[in-house]
Amino acid sequence: MPLKNHSEKISKALKLFFPFLITITVYTSLSTVYLRPESVNTILSVKMHQVTDITTKITFEMKIDSFKHGALGLLLGSLTLNPWYTVFTVFTSVLIDLDHTPYFLGIPVPPRVSHSLFFLLLSTIIYQTMFKEGKLTVTWITSFTLHISLDNLRVPILSPFLLSPEPPQKLIPFLITAAYTANLYLGLKKLRKKKS
C-alpha cells in the first residue's frame, strides 16, 4: 500500500511538471528559430557535452538568483496550503530559466526569451486544458508573475515578436503583491472549505 501511494505521488508530480518542461523547451526553441532562423542547425545538432557544459557557465550570481526564485516561490506556493501547488510553484519559479539555454549555447538571442506574455498565455491554456483546474492555473500565473518581478521586469515581455520595451519597473510592487494575494486567497478559501 505505501509503495502504491508513493508511485501515485510520483505520477502526479510528473503530470504537473512534464507539460511545463515540454512547453518551455518547445517555446524556447521556436522563439530562438523565429529570432535567428539560422539557429535551427545549432539546435538540432546539440550534443550532450554541450548541455552539460552549460552548467560551467552558470555564475555564482545566477545560482544565488535561482535560490532566491526557489525560496520566494516556496513562500508563494505555501500560501495555497496545497503541497502540490507549493512544489509546482518552486519548480516553475526556478526552471523557467531553462530558456537561457540557447544563449548559453552561443545563439545570439535574449537569455530570457520565454519570459514572455505569449509563453504565459500558451502554457496557461495548456494547463487549463489538461487539468481543468483553475487553482493550478492561478498558481502558475502567480509563479510566472513573481519570477519576472524578481528579474526586475528586465524581460522581453512580448518575445519573440517584440524584444522591447520592457515593462515599467514601477509595476514590480503591484505584481508581487498581486501574486502573493492571489495565492493567499486560495489558501484562505481552502481553510474555509475545511471548516465547513
pLDDT digits (tens, 9 = 90+) for 73-96: 999 999 999 998 999 999 999 999
- Residue 5 pLDDT class (50, 70, 90 cuts): low
C-alpha cell at 42: 545549432
**To the nearest whole percent, how much of the chain has pLDDT over 90?**
71
pLDDT digits (tens, 9 = 90+) for 20-58: 999 999 999 999 999 999 999 888 888 888 878 888 888
Q: How many structural domains compose the chain? A: 1
- Residue 6 pLDDT class (50, 70, 90 cuts): low
The pLDDT score that the predictor gives to residue 1 is: 43
Summary mean pLDDT of the chain: 91
The pLDDT score that the predictor gives to residue 4 is: 60
The pLDDT score that the predictor gives to residue 56 is: 87
Which domain range does residue 19 map to? Answer: 2-195
